Amino acid sequence: MHPYILLAISIAAEVVATSALKSSQGLTRLWPSVLAVLGYCAAFYLVSKVMNHMATGVVYAIWSGLGIVLISLVGWWLYGQKLDLPAVVGMLMIVGGVVVIQVLSKTAGN
């Protein structure tokens, strides 16, 4: 499978796991806790496979950056958490950084 597809699945697994962690109420609810653990296991396994095909720093920048943005949006949508202007500007900067890496960096495919 293409490394970017694996990376996207890994990011999705991490976002699901983090959302489940919020719903687990401190790991006191069984099924959200199980989903969190399984989601993180899947996310780390897949990101480790992606690192066999791409530079570690690039993989981690994309994985963590997009994960931050997506989980912030999920928190806003599912849990009613507020995103103020500095948070939105910061997330746009993160996305901009990922775009710069993908478009301009020669290490993105290593």
Three-class SS string for 32-81? HHHHHHHHHHHHHHHHHHHCCCCCHHHHHHHHHHHHHHHHHHHHHHHHCC
Number of domains in the chain: 1
pLDDT in tens, 57-86: 889 989 999 999 999 999 999 999 999 999
Which residues constitute the domain of residue 33? 3-104
- Cα torsion for 41, 46, 51, 52, to the nearest 10°? 120
The percent of residues above 90 in pLDDT, for the chain, comes to 77
**110 inside domain:** no
**83 inside domain:** yes
pLDDT in tens, 11-52: 999 999 999 999 999 999 999 999 999 999 999 999 999 999
pLDDT in tens, 93-102: 998 988 888 7
Q: What is the average pLDDT across 85-91?
A: 93
Tokens linked to 57: 């720093």
**109 inside domain:** no
